[in-house]
Structures are given as structure tokens and as C-alpha cells.
């Protein structure tokens, strides 16, 4: 994998990174961090940059954990739906076989009646 060098500008400071991630992806991350950090410092001007960075990290970690929890819940719901669909498919196959059996029985009864 090739390594990419990227420069991020976050709250007026440059950060030079070497990563195997896509450059645009890393820039987007840097822009997101800059946006959140700048917002925190605008809303709370008494915060130091370090305090704001810690709050930014906590906020982003909170969002990550909530997103992971939501994803896990969605996966669980999808699994339940898949199990329901599989059960319904099995029940439909059983019902179809029963319909076929009953149709054969009806046909046999009609044939016996006309003989």
C-alpha cells in the first residue's frame, strides 16, 4: 500500500501526516475536527485550545460510540427480519406442498366420483 502525505490545517495550525488512507478522506476528517474545535472555541471563548481539543475528542468519541450502538441495533433488527423472512419462506413452501397435496386429493376424489 502506498503512503500518502497530507497537510491538515486545524484551528490555524498545520499538521503533516503520513497515512495509507485517501488524502481527500483525511482532509475531510481534518475539516470536521477544525469545524467542531472552532465551534467549541467560539461558543466558549474562555477554553484553552487544549481544553477545547479534549472536549472535541470527547464529543467525537461519543458520536462514534452512539453510531456503533445504532449500527449494532440495526444489524440485530436486520437479522431478526431475515430470520422472519426465512421462516415465512419455509411456511410458504409447506403451505404450497399442502395445497398441491390437497389438489391431488380433490382430483382423485373427483375421478372416483365419476367412475
Map out the domains of the chain as residue ranges.
Answer: 4-86
Distance CA 98, CA 96 (A): 5
pLDDT of residue 112: 82
pLDDT of residue 115: 67
Q: Looking at the predicted structure, is the pLDDT value of residue 27 above 90?
A: yes
Helix (H) or strand (E) holding 99: helix 49-114
pLDDT of residue 23: 96
pLDDT of residue 84: 97
**Contact indicator for 17, 26 with CB cutoff of 8 Å:** yes
pLDDT of residue 113: 77
Kindly state the cell numbers that stand for 88.
415465512
Query: What's the pTM?
Result: 0.69
pLDDT digits (tens, 9 = 90+) for 39-98: 999 999 999 999 999 999 999 999 999 999 999 999 999 999 999 999 999 999 999 999
Amino acid at each position: 500500500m502506498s503512503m500518502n502525505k497530507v497537510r491538515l490545517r486545524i484551528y490555524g495550525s498545520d499538521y503533516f501526516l503520513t497515512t495509507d488512507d485517501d488524502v481527500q478522506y483525511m482532509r475531510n476528517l481534518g475539516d470536521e475536527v477544525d469545524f467542531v474545535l472552532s465551534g467549541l472555541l467560539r461558543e466558549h471563548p474562555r477554553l484553552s485550545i487544549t481544553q477545547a481539543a479534549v472536549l472535541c475528542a470527547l464529543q467525537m468519541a461519543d458520536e462514534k460510540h452512539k453510531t456503533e450502538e445504532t449500527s449494532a441495533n440495526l444489524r440485530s433488527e436486520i437479522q431478526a427480519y431475515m430470520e422472519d423472512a426465512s421462516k415465512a419462506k419455509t411456511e410458504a413452501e409447506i403451505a404450497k406442498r399442502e395445497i398441491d397435496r390437497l389438489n391431488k386429493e380433490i382430483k382423485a376424489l373427483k375421478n372416483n366420483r365419476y367412475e
